[in-house]
Structure 1
Amino acid sequence: MPARLMTTSQPWPSNEGGASDCGPPITACAARLVLVMRPPGQVVGSRVSGGSGAGLVGAPTSAHCRDMDMPTAAGRDRAGVAYWNDIWAGGSAGRNQRAVLERYTSALLRRFLSRLPTGATVMEAGCANSAALPLVSSAGFRAVGIDYSSEGCRQSREASPEAVIHEGDIFAPPTELVGSADAIISFGLVEHFDVPATAIEAMARFLRPGGQMLTIVPNMYGSVGMLQKLLNRGAYDVHVRLDRADLASAHASMRVVDCGFLSPVGFGVVNPGKRVLPRAIVGALARASKLPRMIDRVVTLPKWPILAPHLYCIAEAYAKTTTDRVPDAMSTVPPLSF
């Protein structure tokens, strides 16, 4: 049963650490994804356009979903565990580097965490090679992660020994994790599944009532996606393209608090693979991106959809006693004002 998208009554604090205001909260969202009427708790396996990995009890486990063409409760996993193990091991899919939270992502994560009480449990879904969990732990929160890549989990345990890392499928998680988190975060996860909305519903099952969710995905509709398609088609094909309305609509089972573009420009997110020329092109563009990002520290630059490398969505799980429901029709998302 769908749920109405509306703003939370608690205002967001102003951005810190160099990230500029990303516009007003969402009050309603265009239904770009296929929304299917269903009884509460039932997972819909219908296809949309593409996506990455989460899960529900009773859904296929990671052992059954390791091939990228194998369907899951959220549709086909476009990447699969073999792809990610290769990424994190520095194999043919692309040389791995230790993940680092860049300035805008770090500022947004700190802003997100500022809403939580000290000592809250914060889970990262898709936590392989995590750069976020060390920040979560250092901020005084209990850090938990889940990922189906054994190599990625090993790297996260090494980088964040205080965190509790579970190797598993979010569609079939350990029972003790369900309903255990005050907040859940994901960076580049849901866009690897054919039906991102059901992946988000799966992640929401980890939350307590009223829990918070932060979702960040690459902007594959912008210049980053165009460049990714040109330079490394294999990496492009494991993504589902989501614009701002798509991402907000994918959180339709929750109350959307804020949704927008994360930074003015940044080509470092592009995976060039191992070929010399693509790596040189991405390296040059990433260096060129530094100038406008430096200017943005002084003068707030617009987050244009064509240039912004990431989108984000912050949403809140409904309390079990809520009476809010989705209206018969959703209006379109109003444009962001910067």
Structure 2
Amino acid sequence: MSKILQSKEEEMVGNSESQKNLVEKTSPEYWDAFWETNQIPNEIVINKKHINSYLHTEFDAFFKKHIDKGKEKKLIELGCGNSVWLPYFYKNFNLDVSGLDYSDLGCERSRFILKKYNTPGRIFEGDLFYPPEELKGKFDYVVSFGVIEHFRDTVEVLKAHAKYLNISGKIIVSVPNMCGFTGWYQKVMNRAVYDTHVPIDKNHLEEALLKAGFKNIEVQYILPIAVSAQIDGAHKTSFVSFKKLLTLNLSRLTKIIWAIEIYTSLKFPRSRTFSPALLAYAEKE
């Protein structure tokens, strides 16, 4: 009898690992190597008239539309490694913040960021698909930035996000727009990094949220255009210096468009073709 139970247990573990392998396009080792090449980011400060704050300004407007201020409210960021969003949510919305990441270095960076920017909060190390009991169903908001596109099954990773939400919880996720110019440029600059992403557009994300059991869904593209690419890091590529210089100069050119929007009444369209990212909000069914 014990052999049968042992065999069944091994089968369940095997199926779990097999299922995980079907959806995951990166690994903790990938992110440990990635964070080693990245500096600690500056704190997010919203300045509507500063061009370097323009992306965060658009995010901020979206968040203010969907997040209620209040110390009783709890928020968790999944894939929080090296992220400065937790201090932003604490200081701008007075939320009780937590983060989870499966990269050891990513968690270490996140704890350092909380301390550096005077933010009380907790960072948990673990796999988002298997939340600790103390995190299940405990949060009013679950957020992630650049996480869900690293999994082949968008619906399943969104269902995993829902495990952290209480009965009236809300989800906010952001993904890079790999279906448009941003994706094409990343593919040209470093195909290995591009291949760790699943291209997701507005229709795909709306449908995935619906299938994952969410309602009152809102998805929008962010910014009219932006040029950026991960050129080195966990995956090395050739002509690194040239590619970085080209990217820097193209980025400066696109900021001219941002400046026009900041200092005039003109607004350019946000589109699948040129917008660099999507933001989505939804409520637990």
Q: Unpaired runs of 5+ in structure 2?
A: 1-11, 45-52
- Tell me the distance in 1 between the aligned counterparts of 2:27 and 2:257: 36
Check 1:99–1:200 CA distance in 2 against 1; reply closer, same or farther (3 A cut).
farther
Distance in 1 separating the partners of 2:13 and 2:105:
21
1:302 paired to 2:260: no
Whether 2:55 is the aligned partner of 1:97: answer no
Match of 1:153 in 2: 107
1:311 aligns with 2:278: yes
- The one of 226, 230, 235 equivalent to 2:188 is 230
Where 1:264 maps in the other structure, the secondary structure is: coil
Counterpart of 2:230 in structure 1: which amino acid? N
2:174 corresponding residue in structure 1: 216
| Pair 308,234 (structure 1): closer, same or farther in 2 beyond 3 Å | same
**Which of 152, 156, 171 does residue 129 from structure 2 map onto?**
171
Which of residues 259, 263, 282 is equivalent to 2:247?
A: 282
Q: 2:225 aligned with 1:258, yes or no?
A: no
Return the TM-score normalized by structure 1.
Answer: 0.69
Q: Rg bigger for which structure?
A: 2
- On the 8 A contact 1:105/1:262 being kept in 2, the answer is no
Letter in 1 for 2:271: W
Q: What residue in structure 2 maps to residue 85 of structure 1? A: 32
- CA offsets 1:13-67 (integer angstroms, 9 cap, x no match): xxxxxxxxxxxxxxxxxxxxxxxxxxxxxxxxxxxxxxxxxxxxxx979xx99xx
Which SS does the other structure have where 1:251 is aligned?
helix
Which structure is higher in RCO with an 8 Å CA cutoff and minimum separation 6?
1
Quote the offset at 1:160 in angstroms.
1.1
Unaligned runs of 5+ in 1: 1-58, 91-95, 319-338
Paired residues of 2:174 and 2:279 also in contact (CA < 8 A): yes
Partners of 1:294 and 1:60 in 2: CA distance:
54
| Residues 261 and 293 of structure 1, relative CA distance in 2, 3 Å threshold | same
Question: Which of residues 192, 197, 205 is equivalent to 1:239?
Answer: 197
Distance apart, 1:109 and its partner CA: 4.2
Deviations 1:236-294 (A, max 9, x none): 000000111001111111014310101111113x2122611211121111111211111
Single out whichever of 211-220 and 156-165 deviates more from structure 2. 156-165
Compared with structure 1, are the counterparts of its residues 230 and 111 closer, same or farther at alpha carbon in structure 2 (3 Å cutoff)? closer
The aligned residue for residue 112 of structure 1 is: 63
Checking the alignment, whether the CA contact within 8 Å between 1:256 and 1:313 is kept in structure 2 is no
**Aligned partners of 1:74 and 1:196 also within 8 Å:** no
Displacement after TM superposition at 1:225 (Å): 0.4
**Take 2:139 and 2:261, find their aligned partners in 1: how far apart are those partners?**
34
The DSSP-based 3-state class of the residue aligned with 1:271 is coil
Report the Cα offset of residue 72 of structure 1: 3.8
Does residue 1:124 correspond to 2:83, yes or no?
Answer: no
Distance 1:212 1:109, change over 3 A: farther
d(CA) in 2 for partners of 1:185, 1:232: 27
The percent identity for this pair of structures is: 28
Inter-partner Cα distance in structure 2 for 1:249 and 1:73:
22
Q: Distance in 2 between matches of 1:152 and 1:131?
A: 12
User: CA RMSD of the aligned region, Å?
Assistant: 2.2
CA distance in 2, matches of 1:238, 1:174: 26
Q: Please report the TM-score for the alignment, with normalisation by the length of structure 2.
A: 0.81
Residues 234 and 71 of structure 1, relative CA distance in 2, 3 Å threshold = farther
Residue type at the aligned position of 2:208: A
Q: Aligned partners of 2:26, 2:143: CA distance in 1, in Å?
A: 20
SS in 2 for 1:130: coil
**Separation in structure 2 between the aligned mates of residue 155 and residue 221 of structure 1, nearest angstrom:** 30
Q: Distance in 1 between matches of 2:96 and 2:21?
A: 28
Counterpart CA distance in 1 for 2:137 and 2:54 is: 31
For 2:149, what is the secondary structure of its paired residue? helix
Equivalent AA in structure 1 for residue 114 of structure 2 = S
Query: 1:137-178: per-residue Cα shift (whole Å, max 9, x none)?
Result: 212111100000110111111111322100100111111100
Hey, what's the Cα distance between the residues in 2 that align with 1:217 and 1:77?
A: 16
Match of 1:189 among 147, 166, 188: 147
Say if 2:170 and 2:282, in contact at 8 Å, map to a contact too. Answer: yes
